[in-house]
């Protein structure tokens, strides 16, 4: 009886595996066909992008314009290099509007929202196509070092600011069934030491995005999570890192200064290469981040997540999820390659015998 039962179980299992394989194959075919169906961009479709002074936001604004959209590009500083370059692009077609935007200030958000709303009222043949929440800030440093102002800035911009912008635009998004694209981070998938606050803000943004996606699906609104690869050398998201380090050092107690000492200096010396304002860089049209973003914007039925990652990221993230904690922690430290704290000396443990 046992052998018959075993054969029956094995047969059922093989059938299940076979059916699952066929279903997975059909799903992949459907997904591949869906990827080929794109919407057509026109100048009558309006997109609004935040954080366009440099990096991803600057390149997203340019790409949207290149695709044919009318673009409103929010810049923290309308006199920045990125804003000036976007203004030059605008002179050619008049389809790119640079406007001041500080997403931590509700007044600034409402002014930007009114500009878009008034434009659509004057041009009734235009539609609001997408809100792209890109603005973000990053501060490296162990959590004990970061001051309250550093914590509040990252949460205030990355999470609360994005929520405030979205809340202002939601009635317009809902009425016109526009697309909402929120830029999160690989740090929302795996928190990194030295980026605990940044990781927390992006993880919170990711889960907010998922809940919002389900809420807005009833209204025919697509909500997309866009995860770019590392662009730290193509953006100014870390331009103020050495300023942050100076503020952290000034906030140390005498005990902290004595305890961290050389490690703190080595840590921030290592990060000096990402500090300072870098020239604005234009990514080529065939850059994998630009191509992935274009899919997120134009796919007729977008995926839930568009994740840009080189093979190194794929391997690391697979190992992060599938290795024991000790191994995973070691791999995470190897991945981020920051200096590691080394105690100045080891205390001997006294063994008392009773």
| Cα(186)–Cα(131) distance, integer angstroms | 21
| Cα(51)–Cα(101) distance, integer angstroms | 8
Which residues lie below 8 Å from residue 285, measured CB to CB, with a gap of 6+?
63, 66, 291
Output the six-digit token pair for 29: 């075919």
Catalogue the E-assigned strands of the chain. 45-49, 70-75, 96-100, 127-133, 179-183, 223-227, 305-307
Packing angle, helices 162-176 and 196-217, rounded to 10: 20
| Cα(301)–Cα(203) distance, integer angstroms | 24
Output the six-digit token pair for 301: 């039925």
251 burial via Cβ count (<10 Å: 0-12, 13-18, 19+): middle
Of 156, 51, 45, 151, nearest in space to 98 by CA: 51
| Bridge partners for 348 per DSSP | none
Q: How far is CA 46 from CA 41, 212, 235, 239, in A?
A: 9, 22, 25, 30
Packing angle, helices 162-176 and 106-122, rounded to 10: 20
| Opening angle at CA 280, ends 117 and 194, nearest 5 | 95
Largest pairwise CA distance in the chain: 89
Return the active site residues.
198
Residue 224: CB atoms within 10 Å:
23
How do 45-49 and 305-307 pair as beta strands? unpaired
Of 210, 219, 107, nearest in space to 172 by CA: 219
């Amino acid at each position: 009886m046992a052998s018959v039962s075993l054969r029956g179980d094995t047969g059922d299992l093989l059938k299940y595996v076979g059916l699952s394989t066929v279903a997975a194959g059909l799903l992949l075919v459907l997904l591949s066909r869906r990827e080929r169906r794109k919407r057509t961009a026109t100048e009558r479709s309006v997109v609004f992008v935040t954080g366009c002074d440099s990096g991803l936001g600057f390149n997203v604004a340019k790409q949207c314009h290149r695709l044919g959209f009318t673009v409103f590009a929010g810049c923290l500083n309308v006199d920045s290099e990125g804003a000036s370059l976007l203004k030059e692009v605008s002179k050619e077609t008049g389809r790119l509007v640079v406007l001041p935007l500080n997403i931590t200030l509700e007044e600034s958000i409402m002014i930007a929202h009114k500009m878009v709303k008034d434009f659509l009222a004057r041009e009734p043949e235009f539609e609001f196509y997408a809100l792209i929440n890109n603005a973000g800030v990053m501060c490296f440093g162990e959590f004990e070092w970061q001051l309250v102002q550093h914590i509040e800035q990252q949460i205030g911009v990355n999470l609360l600011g994005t929520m405030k912008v979205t809340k202002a635009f939601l009635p317009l998004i809902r009425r016109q069934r526009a697309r909402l694209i929120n830029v999160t981070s690989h740090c929302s998938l795996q928190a990194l030491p030295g980026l605990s606050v940044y990781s927390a803000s992006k993880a919170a943004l990711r889960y907010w995005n998922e809940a919002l996606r389900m809420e807005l699906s009833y209204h025919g609104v697509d909500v997309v999570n866009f995860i770019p690869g590392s662009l730290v050398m193509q953006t100014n998201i870390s331009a103020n890192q050495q300023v942050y380090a100076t503020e952290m050092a000034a906030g140390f107690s005498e005990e902290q200064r004595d305890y961290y000492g050389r490690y703190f200096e080595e840590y921030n010396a290592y990060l000096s290469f990402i500090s300072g304002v870098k020239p604005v860089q234009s990514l080529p049209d065939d850059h994998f981040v630009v191509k992935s973003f274009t899919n997120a914007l134009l796919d007729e039925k977008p995926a839930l997540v568009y994740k840009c990652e080189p093979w190194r990221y794929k391997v690391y993230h697979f190992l992060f999820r599938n290795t024991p904690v000790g191994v995973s922690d070691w791999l995470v430290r190897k991945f981020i390659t920051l200096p590691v704290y080394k105690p100045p000396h080891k205390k001997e443990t006294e063994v008392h015998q009773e």
